């Protein structure tokens, strides 16, 4: 009888330990609430962000699942990571006077180009690498160009450590990436004042492109489609992105 009680107690303690360590036990709950730590996955904050995206009208379940999975906070360089809430619906600084776009804009632009698994997508303005990770998580084959070498290096490193095989080029996005063209879709996350022709040329027939176009305080998202050699554009939301800076004539 004594032995039975002992066994039952041992089994109970084991089950309790298992629940606390691996389940949704109080240890985890307390850790999640007591502020960010290195090992904190922040899945509750991401789930709340996904709820906001739904409330704002994002409908594509694949995109919502991806945004709930990719660890946005990891893409914000450590020095800026907790300067503002990484999961709040606003842009966050990433250094070099650049920002990671607000989650709604990332989700919206992604939804508008509807990336399919296996498609080849070019992104201009890698920044933190977050938008590229979202596209890669959706199964696209992603190429991304960043003009600031330190940001390109940071993005390469975090993309690799989070398990995304994105190709990052340090260079001038106005030139596109002719060696890998044509692309099924192009997404530009900095604002040129005029449509960069090289990017239109590097788009497949049947391809689509989304970009913020215009001067600093008068930008609109533009959606462009190439069909039978014809280019159709459609104006969309007013937005405010950092400007797309022209590279030096001899830059890569
Ligand atoms: N997509 C990014 C946010 C981009 S912020 C993310 O998910 O974090 C815009 C980025 O465009 C900045 O990093 C800026 O350096 C870059 N950029 C500006 N002009 C560029 C150009 N001509 N070519 C490539 N990148 C450029």
Of 17-21, 27-31, 213-217, 224-228, which gets the smallest average pLDDT? 27-31
Domain contains 4 = no
| Torsion, CA 35, CA 39, CA 41, CA 45, rounded to 10 | 10
pLDDT at 34 over 50: no
Domain contains 63 = yes
Q: Using a 6 Å cutoff on CB, does residue 136 contact ligand 1?
A: no
Domain contains 3 = no
Number of domains forming the structure of the chain? 1
Domain contains 169 = yes
Chain segment 118-169, per-residue pLDDT in tens: 999 999 999 999 999 999 999 999 999 999 999 999 999 999 999 999 999 9
User: Domain holding 70: CATH number?
Assistant: 3.40.50.150
Domain contains 160 = yes
Provide the domain limits for residue 104. 43-239
Quote the pLDDT of residue 249.
64
Give pTM, 2 decimals: 0.85
Closest atom, ligand 1, to C-alpha of 148: 15
Number of neighbouring beta carbons within 10 Å of residue 213: 23
Domain contains 249 = no
Of 36-40, 102-106, 122-126, 168-172, which gets the smallest average pLDDT? 36-40
User: Cβ distance 141 to 183 under 8 Å?
Assistant: no
DSSP letter at 104? Answer: H
Q: Is 34 a catalytic residue?
A: no
Q: Using a 6 Å cutoff on CB, does residue 70 contact ligand 1?
A: no
Quote the pLDDT of residue 36.
53
Domain contains 226 = yes
User: Cβ distance 201 to 231 under 8 Å?
Assistant: no
- Pocket probe for ligand 1: among 123, 134, 147, the residue whose CB has the most ligand atoms within 8 Å is 147
Residues in Cβ contact with 89 at an 8 Å cutoff, skipping those fewer than 6 apart:
49, 52, 56, 102, 103, 104
Take atom 14 of ligand 1 and give the residue whose Cα is closest. 125
Residues in Cβ contact with 81 at an 8 Å cutoff, skipping those fewer than 6 apart:
36, 73
Domain contains 16 = no
Residues in Cβ contact with 159 at an 8 Å cutoff, skipping those fewer than 6 apart:
129, 132, 133, 136, 165, 166, 168
Of 1-5, 74-78, 117-121, 182-186, which gets the smallest average pLDDT? 1-5
């Amino acid at each position: 009888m004594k032995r039975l009680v002992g066994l039952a107690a041992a089994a109970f303690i084991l089950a309790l330990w298992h629940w606390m360590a691996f389940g949704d036990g109080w240890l985890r709950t307390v850790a999640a609430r007591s502020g960010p730590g290195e090992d904190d996955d922040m899945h509750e904050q991401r789930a709340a962000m996904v709820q906001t995206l739904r409330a704002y009208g994002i409908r594509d379940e694949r995109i919502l699942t991806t945004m709930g999975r990719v660890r946005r906070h990891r893409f914000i360089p450590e020095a800026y990571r907790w300067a503002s809430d990484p999961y709040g619906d606003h842009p966050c600084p990433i250094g070099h006077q650049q920002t990671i776009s607000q989650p709604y804009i990332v989700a919206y632009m992604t939804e508008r180009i509807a990336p399919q698994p296996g498609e080849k997508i070019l992104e201009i303005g890698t920044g933190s690498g977050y938008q590229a990770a979202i596209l890669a998580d959706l199964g696209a084959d992603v190429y991304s160009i960043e003009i600031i070498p330190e940001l390109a290096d940071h993005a390469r490193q975090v993309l690799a450590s989070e398990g995304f095989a994105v190709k990052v080029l340090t260079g001038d996005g106005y030139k596109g990436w002719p060696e890998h063209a044509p692309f099924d879709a192009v997404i530009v996350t900095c604002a040129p004042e005029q449509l960069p022709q090289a990017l239109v040329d590097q788009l497949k027939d049947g391809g689509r492109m989304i970009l913020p176009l215009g001067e600093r305080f008068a930008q609109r998202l533009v959606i462009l489609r190439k069909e039978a050699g014809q280019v159709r554009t459609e104006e969309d939301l007013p937005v405010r992105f950092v400007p797309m800076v022209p590279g030096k004539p001899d830059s890569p």
